[in-house]
């Protein structure tokens, strides 16, 4: 059987009918990693022996029936290394507990197989900020997979993972999903517990799935969602069934396109795919209208005040004392902190810590941080108004397809603008999904995704809309390789 095109649902059905065993799935994935990952370099570790031992006691009646799920390397899984793509933790930290998301997946029968590369501490849009290795895009090895969950997106696209977990602070699930041609979903803030996720920006971070189909993403989200007493920001909203099942059309559904979406800022090849997607949604019975989100034009600026401010606080715990890298022979406590952080953090992490410390400092707190929070509040109100006219907000996921490796490493601002369309949903705390929508017409075609954003805690309707689009288009069935 061709695992590279199989969904979690189809494999689960085969397992329950005893046509295959989860050990066969793990073994096949290990062989695929050995054959392909030397080029893509999505995996930091694939622990085949541990996974094979776990699946021997699987329960076929659980929702995941022993199926292996790969994990972004900032989510704690008991006994597994957790490096966050940083020298600070690489080889120096093994998770002493399970993240709540991991607990719930494990109870649902999942086997954890593989730690996936990422931008250091989730700070980046290309996975080039990883201190451990550079991951490439399976569709074109000269291009980035996106970030910060680039390893997760690349592994799913390359057929080395059935599905994966990522984290999304400003687009870190959706943007790489678009670049790699897979499904990526950020839930409503508070829908999935952050307990066990190494914090970047605590008011923005969310764990979410990357997968080959909307149904698979919905299944993983349904398992992980729900209140968790370990996380004070975890919502108490009830979790309904999220798997869409059969969806025939979009009659009576309205998609709002922000007037502020600057078409000139979008690559022509992406704009062409987006316009074709709009036409297809109309053919399914949907209506499209304009909505106003003027504060979205300030979203990137507000994000790069709020997120670094929270990061500067969250990363203060990496001090060379409690865990992780420690410099040799420090002269005193200040020297210990200074040299440990200097040697452990990469350039982008240092940049954001410095920026965050600056905007929180005396004399600048009101001018920058408080102003950014006001923009965030205004954006939330504008989304509420927009949802009085439209059921969903529709944009490209990213303003361009995957860009060449090294193209933006010396220009942080151009890198930050990769998240132009994804950041607003994080600031507003809304659920948002990227689904494959087509390819550029370049000599080497690259995937392009569309982004659908919904009302808070309306993941079920959002997933149904995404499924209606997916089930009537061929893009999720395209793969960057051919079976040997």
CA dihedral 30, 88, 426, 293 (to 10 degrees): -120
The answer for residues whose C-beta is within 8 angstroms of residue 346's C-beta and 6 or more apart is 86, 87, 120, 129, 131
And the tokens for 411?
């220009």
CA distance 122 to 116: 12
Residue among 86, 148, 149, 432 flagged as catalytic: 148
User: Rounded to an integer, what is the distance from CA 364 to the centroid of its chain?
Assistant: 32
* 467 tagged catalytic: no
- Would you say 453 and 466 are in contact if contact means Cβ atoms under 8 Å apart? no
Residue among 172, 178, 312, 434 flagged as catalytic: 172
Q: Residue 363's CB: how many other CB atoms inside 10 A?
A: 7
- Would you say 341 and 320 are in contact if contact means Cβ atoms under 8 Å apart? yes
Residue among 4, 7, 72, 178 flagged as catalytic: 72
CA dihedral 242, 189, 127, 412 (to 10 degrees): 140
* 251 tagged catalytic: no
With residues binned 3-state (H G I as helix, E B as strand, rest as coil), the percentages for the chain, rounded to 5, are 40, 15, 45
Residue 417 DSSP one-character state: G
Cα distances (angstroms) measured from residue 173 to each of 74, 152, 233, 431: 13, 8, 20, 12
The answer for residues whose C-beta is within 8 angstroms of residue 147's C-beta and 6 or more apart is 118, 119, 124, 125, 126, 127, 128, 129, 172, 175, 176
* 83 tagged catalytic: no
CA distance 366 to 63: 49
- Would you say 383 and 431 are in contact if contact means Cβ atoms under 8 Å apart? no
- Would you say 425 and 175 are in contact if contact means Cβ atoms under 8 Å apart? no
Helix ranges, 256-387 (H): 268-283, 299-314, 333-344, 347-359, 371-386
Residues noted as catalytic: 72, 148, 172
């Amino acid at each position: 059987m061709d695992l590279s095109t199989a969904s979690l649902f189809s494999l689960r059905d085969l397992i329950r009918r005893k046509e295959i065993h989860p050990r066969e799935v793990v073994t096949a994935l290990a062989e695929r990693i050995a054959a392909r990952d030397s080029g893509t370099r999505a995996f930091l570790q694939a622990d085949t022996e541990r996974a094979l031992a776990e699946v021997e006691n699987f329960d076929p009646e659980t929702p995941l029936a022993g199926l292996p799920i790969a994990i972004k390397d900032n989510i704690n899984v008991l006994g597994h290394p957790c490096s966050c793509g940083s020298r600070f933790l690489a080889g120096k930290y093994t998770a002493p507990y399970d993240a709540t998301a991991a607990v719930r997946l494990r109870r649902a029968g999942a086997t954890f197989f593989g730690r996936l590369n990422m931008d250091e501490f989730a700070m980046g849009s290309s996975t080039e900020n990883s201190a451990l290795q550079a991951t490439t895009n399976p569709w074109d090895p000269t291009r980035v997979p996106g970030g910060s969950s680039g390893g997760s997106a690349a592994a799913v696209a390359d057929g080395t993972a059935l599905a994966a977990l990522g984290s999304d602070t400003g687009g870190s699930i959706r943007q790489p999903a678009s670049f790699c041609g897979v499904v990526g979903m950020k839930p409503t803030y508070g829908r999935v517990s952050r307990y066990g996720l190494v914090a970047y920006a605590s008011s923005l971070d969310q764990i979410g799935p990357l997968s080959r189909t909307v149904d698979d993403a919905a299944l993983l989200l349904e398992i992980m969602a729900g209140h968790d007493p370990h996380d004070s920001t975890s919502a108490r909203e009830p979790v309904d069934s999220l798997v869409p099942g059969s969806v025939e059309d979009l009659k009576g559904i309205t998609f709002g396109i922000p007037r502020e979406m600057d078409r000139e800022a979008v690559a022509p090849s992406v704009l062409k795919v987006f316009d074709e997607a709009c036409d297809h949604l109309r053919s399914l019975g949907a209506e499209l209208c304009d909505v106003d989100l003027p504060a979205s034009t300030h979203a990137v600026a507000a994000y790069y005040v709020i997120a670094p401010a929270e990061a500067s606080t969250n990363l203060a715990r990496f001090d060379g004392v409690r865990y992780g890298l420690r410099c040799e022979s420090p002269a005193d406590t200040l020297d210990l902190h200074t040299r440990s952080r200097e040697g452990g953090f990469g350039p982008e992490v240092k940049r954001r810590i410095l920026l965050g410390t600056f905007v929180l400092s005396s004399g600048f707190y009101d001018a920058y941080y408080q102003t950014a929070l006001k923009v965030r509040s205004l954006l939330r109100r504008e989304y509420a108004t927009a949802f009085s006219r439209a059921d969903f907000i529709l944009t490209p996921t990213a303003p361009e397809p995957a860009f060449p490796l090294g193209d933006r490493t010396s220009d942080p601002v151009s890198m930050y603008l990769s998240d132009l369309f994804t950041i607003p949903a994080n600031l507003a705390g809304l659920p948002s999904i990227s689904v494959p929508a087509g390819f550029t017409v370049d000599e080497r075609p690259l995937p392009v995704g569309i982004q659908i954003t919904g009302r808070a805690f309306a993941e079920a309707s959002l997933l149904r809309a995404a499924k209606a689009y997916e089930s009537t288009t061929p893009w999720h069935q395209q793969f960057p390789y051919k079976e040997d």
